C-alpha cells in the first residue's frame, strides 16, 4: 500500500485507487478521559458518507418577532438563553415559531402555549395560524406595549404540543430545542422597550437537519512519545530524546486554523503516541460526543466511491467531552489524512481533519 495519498488526475483514477485502511497504519488506539481508558474497535465505516435522519422528535429551531404591516422582522432568537429586544414603536404584534416538522393538527392552540406580561399577567386574544405547515404564527390583538414578556410552548405542561402523538422535545437549551427525549417546555423572553430599536439583519437561514456541523475538536498540546517497554531505560531515554527533538504540534491561537492540525508522530510498534485533544463543551451544558470514529480520509467509504467500505476505529463507551488523550501505536511511515467524526447528543455530525506525518 502506498502510504501517501495518490496523485489523481480524473474522477476515474480517484474512484479506482486502492483506499488506505487504518488496519494497515494503526496497531492500537485508545481514548483516555478522566482516568478511564477505552479501547477503539474496528468497524465498517460506511456511515461516513451520509448522516442519518434527524431523530424523529418535534423541536423548535427558530423564533421571530415581527411587525406585520411590513412585514418586518424586528428580532430573531439566536439563543433561547437570550431575550428578544424590540421597540414598542416598531409595532411588535406578531411572533412566528419554526418547528422541525409539522405538529399534530390542533395541538398548537390557545391552551398549549401562553404569553405572560410581567405587570399584568396572561395575554389573551391571540390568533394562531400556520403560514406554512411547520411555522406557527401568533398574532396579538395590539402591538405589545413596553414591558417584559415570557412566552412558553408546552412540551411537558398539559396540554402538550405533539408530533405523531409524541410530546415536543422543548427544553430551551439551544436551537434546535430539547435534550433528545420527548417532553420539555420551551420558554423565551421578549423585552419591549419604549420608542424604537435598531432592526438587526434577519437571522441566517438554518442549515438542513442531519448535516455536517463545524467541529469542536482541537489539538490541546504537543503529542508525547512513550516507550512501550517502560522498564527498558534505554527505550525510555530514547522516547524522551525524541520528544525533546520534535515539537509536534502548533498550539498558538494566532496561527491559521489548519496549522495546529499538522502533527508529527513517531511510527513503529515500540512506541505509543499520546495526542492531547479537547472535544469542547458546546450547545450549552449538553456538550460531548456519545460516538467518535477515526478514519483515514482517503479510504473508500469516506470518499464515497465504488471501492466499498474500509474499517474505521469506533469509540462509543461513554460521552466524550473536554480534555481527552488519544493514544495510538503506528505501524507505517508516511503522510496520512485523518478524520475524527463526532456525533453529538442531537444527532449532528462533525468532522475534525488532521494530517499525521509519521516519522522514525
Which sequence spans correspond to the domains of the chain? Answer: 11-53+212-359, 60-193
- Three-class SS state of 71: coil
pLDDT bracket for residue 107 (50, 70, 90): very high
Measured in whole angstroms, how far is the alpha carbon of residue 244 from the centre of its chain? Answer: 36
Residue 82 has, within 13 A of its CA and on its CB side, a CA count of 12
Q: pLDDT tens across 34-91, in order?
A: 889 999 888 765 444 445 555 678 999 899 999 999 899 999 988 777 789 999 999 9
* Helix, strand, or coil (residue 151): strand
Q: Do 40 and 59 touch, CB atoms closer than 8 A? A: no
Q: Residue 120: is it exposed, middle or buried by C-beta count within 10 angstroms (0-12/13-18/19+)? A: exposed
How confident is the prediction for the chain on average, in pLDDT?
81
Lowest mean pLDDT among 4-13, 113-122, 226-235: 4-13
d(CA 229, CA 169): 52
Quote the radius of gyration of the chain (alpha carbons, Å). Answer: 26
What pLDDT does 97 receive?
94
Is the Cβ–Cβ distance between 322 and 24 less than 8 Å? no
Topology (CATH) of 60-193? Immunoglobulin-like (2.60.40)
Looking at residue 145, its pLDDT comes to 95
Whether the predicted model's global pTM rises above the 0.85 cut: no
Q: Cell match 479537547: residue?
A: 278
Answer yes or no: is pLDDT of 136 > 60: yes
Grid coordinates in use for 284?
450549552
The string of pLDDT tens digits covering residues 157-194 is 999 999 999 999 999 988 888 888 899 999 999 999 99
Lowest mean pLDDT among 87-101, 125-139, 161-175, 244-258: 244-258
Cell numbers 411537558 label which residue? Answer: 156
Amino acid at each position: 500500500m502506498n502510504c501517501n495519498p495518490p496523485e489523481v488526475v480524473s474522477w476515474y483514477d480517484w474512484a479506482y485507487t486502492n483506499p488506505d485502511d487504518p488496519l494497515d497504519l494503526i496497531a492500537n488506539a485508545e481514548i483516555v478521559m478522566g482516568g478511564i481508558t477505552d479501547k477503539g474497535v474496528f468497524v465498517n465505516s460506511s456511515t461516513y458518507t451520509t448522516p442519518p435522519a434527524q431523530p424523529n422528535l418535534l423541536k423548535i429551531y427558530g423564533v421571530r418577532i415581527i411587525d406585520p404591516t411590513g412585514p418586518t422582522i424586528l428580532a430573531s432568537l439566536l439563543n433561547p438563553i437570550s431575550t428578544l429586544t424590540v421597540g414598542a414603536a416598531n409595532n411588535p404584534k406578531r411572533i412566528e415559531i419554526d418547528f422541525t416538522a409539522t405538529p399534530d393538527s390542533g395541538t398548537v392552540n390557545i391552551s398549549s402555549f401562553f404569553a405572560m406580561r410581567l405587570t399584568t399577567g396572561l395575554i389573551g386574544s391571540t390568533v394562531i395560524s400556520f403560514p406554512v405547515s411547520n411555522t406557527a404564527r401568533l398574532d396579538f390583538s395590539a402591538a405589545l406595549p413596553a414591558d417584559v414578556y415570557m412566552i412558553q410552548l408546552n412540551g411537558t405542561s398539559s396540554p402538550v404540543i405533539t408530533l405523531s402523538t409524541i410530546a415536543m422535545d422543548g427544553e430551551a437549551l439551544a436551537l434546535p430545542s430539547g435534550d433528545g427525549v420527548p417532553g420539555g417546555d420551551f420558554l423565551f423572553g421578549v423585552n419591549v422597550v419604549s420608542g424604537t430599536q435598531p432592526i438587526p439583519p434577519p437571522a441566517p437561514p438554518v442549515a438542513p437537519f442531519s448535516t455536517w456541523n463545524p467541529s469542536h475538536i482541537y489539538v490541546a498540546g504537543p503529542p508525547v512519545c512513550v516507550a512501550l517497554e517502560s522498564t527498558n531505560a534505554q527505550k525510555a531515554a530514547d522516547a524522551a530524546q525524541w520528544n525533546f527533538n520534535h515539537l509536534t504540534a502548533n498550539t498558538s491561537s494566532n496561527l491559521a486554523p489548519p496549522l495546529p492540525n499538522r502533527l508529527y508522530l513517531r511510527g513503529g510498534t515500540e512506541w505509543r503516541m499520546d495526542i492531547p485533544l479537547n472535544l469542547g463543551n458546546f450547545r450549552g451544558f449538553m456538550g460531548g460526543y456519545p460516538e467518535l470514529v477515526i478514519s483515514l480520509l482517503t479510504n473508500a467509504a469516506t470518499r464515497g466511491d465504488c471501492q466499498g467500505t474500509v474499517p474505521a476505529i469506533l469509540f462509543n463507551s461513554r460521552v466524550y467531552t473536554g480534555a481527552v488523550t488519544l493514544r495510538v501505536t503506528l505501524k507505517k511511515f508516511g503522510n496520512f489524512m485523518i478524520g475524527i467524526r463526532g456525533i453529538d447528543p442531537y444527532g449532528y455530525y462533525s468532522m475534525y481533519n488532521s494530517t499525521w506525518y509519521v516519522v522514525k
